[in-house]
Amino acid sequence: GRDEATLAMLEVRAKEQVLALAALNDKQSVASLVGDLKQIDPTDPLVERMEKQLETHRRRRLDVSHILPE
């Protein structure tokens, strides 16, 4: 069975890592973590945004300005 509390905690941590790695433009690590997050929640807006950016920003830096808390 799935332990929802553990998954929720892992999801929060993974999202924090995605944001930090995207800010550093580490696309390989971002892609790996986004793949993990997709297993937990394929419809998560962060997953969808980062997947789109990984496809379209091949030569540009990843942009996290729209995701970071104000």
| 7 within 8 A of 40, measured Cβ to Cβ | yes
Q: Which two tokens stand for residue 16?
A: 């924090």
* Tens-digit pLDDT profile for residues 11-58: 999 999 999 999 999 999 999 999 999 998 999 999 999 999 999 988
- For residue 2, what pLDDT is reported? 73
Average pLDDT on 4-14 reads 92
In angstroms, what CA-CA distances link 68 with 4, 16, 23, 60, 63?
Answer: 25, 10, 10, 18, 10
The Cα 3–Cα 50 span in angstroms is 26
pTM for the full predicted model? 0.85
Domain boundaries, the chain: 4-56
Has residue 1 got a pLDDT over 70?
no
Cα gap 31→34, rounded to integer Å:
5
